[in-house]
Amino acid sequence: MESKDYLKDISEIKNLMNKSSRFISLSGLSGILAGIYALIGAATAYWLVTNYSYGTLTLDGWVFRTCVLILGLVAFFSIVTGILLTTRKAKKHGEKIWDNTSRRLVFNFLIPLVVGGIYILIILNQQKYGQTGALMLLFYGLALINASKYSIGDIRYLGFIQVILGLICACFPGYGFWLWVLGFGVMHIVYGTWMHFKYDRN
Amino acid sequence: MSIITNINKVFDHRIRLGIMSILMVNEYADFNTLKELLDVTDGNLASHTKALEKAEYISVEKQFIGRKPNTRYATTKLGRLEFKKHIEALEKLINKQ
Q: What is B2-96's CATH number, 3.90.1010.10, 3.40.190.10, 1.10.10.10, 3.40.980.10?
A: 1.10.10.10
CA separation for the pair A148, A95 (Å, rounded): 19
Q: Nearest residue on chain A to B30, judged by CA atoms?
A: A100
State which of A179-183, B10-14, B92-96 shows the largest mean pLDDT. A179-183
- pTM of the predicted model, to two decimals? 0.81
CA separation for the pair A171, B56 (Å, rounded): 56
Domain boundaries, given as residue ranges, for chain B: 2-96
On whether any CB of chain A is under 8 Å from the CB of B81, the answer is: no
CB neighbours of A12 closer than 8 A, spacing ≥ 6? B14, B17, B18, B21
Q: Nearest residue on chain A to B23, judged by CA atoms?
A: A17
Tens digits of per-residue pLDDT, A68-94?
Answer: 899 999 999 999 999 999 999 888 887
CB-CB neighbors (< 8 A) of A10 in chain B? 87, 90-91, 94
Q: Do A16 and B26 touch (CB under 8 A)?
A: no
Q: What is the ipTM of this complex?
A: 0.80
Amino acid occupying residue A146: N
On whether any CB of chain B is under 8 Å from the CB of A2, the answer is: yes
Mean pLDDT over each residue of chain A, to the nearest integer: 89
Report the b/e string of A6-27 with b at 16+ CB within 10 A.
Answer: beebbeebeebbbbbbbbbbbb
Which of B26, B33, B97 lies closest to A3 in CB terms?
Answer: B97
Q: Do B21 and A13 touch (CB under 8 A)?
A: yes
CA separation for the pair B25, B21 (Å, rounded): 7
pLDDT at A2: 58
CA separation for the pair B87, A184 (Å, rounded): 42
Domain boundaries, given as residue ranges, for chain A: 19-197
CA separation for the pair B3, A95 (Å, rounded): 38
